[in-house]
Amino acid sequence: MKHIIGILGGMGPAATADMFQKFIQLIPASCDQNHIPLLISSIPDIPDRSACILNHQQDPEQHLLTYLHNLEKAGATCIVIACNTAHFWFDRLQAKSNVKMLSMIDSTVNCAVKMGVKKIGLLATNATVATKLYQNALEKQGIDVVLPTTEGQDQVMESIYLYKAGKIEQSVSLMEIEQQALLEQGAECIILGCTEVPLILSEAMKKQPHFYIDSTLELVKTAIDWYYQQ
């Protein structure tokens, strides 16, 4: 095998499994041998990214770097990260990586640009919002960003943690309220800027797929394109 894509996941496991499933769904394969080779790291002891950025708790960088190098040693020739907030460390990880890395932020913003939207909502973790990973990239492209209110952002974060804890119905209820609030503020569509959010809003996405940009899906598309270009 000439090329292997490594998934740096575990943040959380369900989001990592969702990325794997999207690779399977999108690859035009008629048999096992037609699928893209993947290596998946889903070791969940990586310290909480938001807690580090916002509350100066344990830094996950060394864990991320260790598991990234493990993927390299196992044969990965390209690496994607199955977590938006972890992209705060993307440049530092890429600088210490021996292989190509693909950015979830870039892939998602590129999709928004291609869609031609001028005003877009963002559902993401507190840390992703606070570090402006998406806002800065979108505003450079002339796209206005609509965010939840302070109270609404607290509800988004609560929804994400509820989902991680297996409290699915409560999680969905909170997130649906906040996504509707963004649409009412004039957002043409919404970036699902946390890898748990596409899972939380999966039913809503089936009903109105044009309202959403799934960051996991966009990164998978970019990775598949990369693979076939090699």
Cis amide leading into 12 (omega within 30): yes
Angle ∠(15,16,19) on CA atoms, nearest 5:
90
Residue 176: strand, helix, or coil: helix
Do 117 and 143 meet the contact criterion of CB atoms below 8 Å apart?
Answer: yes
Angle ∠(190,52,144) on CA atoms, nearest 5:
25
Q: Which of 52, 78, 83, 189 is catalytic?
A: 83
Cα(140)–Cα(175) distance, integer angstroms: 27
Nearest CA to 151 among 184, 189, 177, 185?
Answer: 177
Q: Which of 52, 78, 111, 194 is catalytic?
A: 194
Q: Which residue has the tokens 């575990």?
A: 10
Cα(215)–Cα(198) distance, integer angstroms: 8
Containing 112, the helix (H) or strand (E) segment is helix 104-115
83 is an active site residue: yes
Active site residues: 83, 194
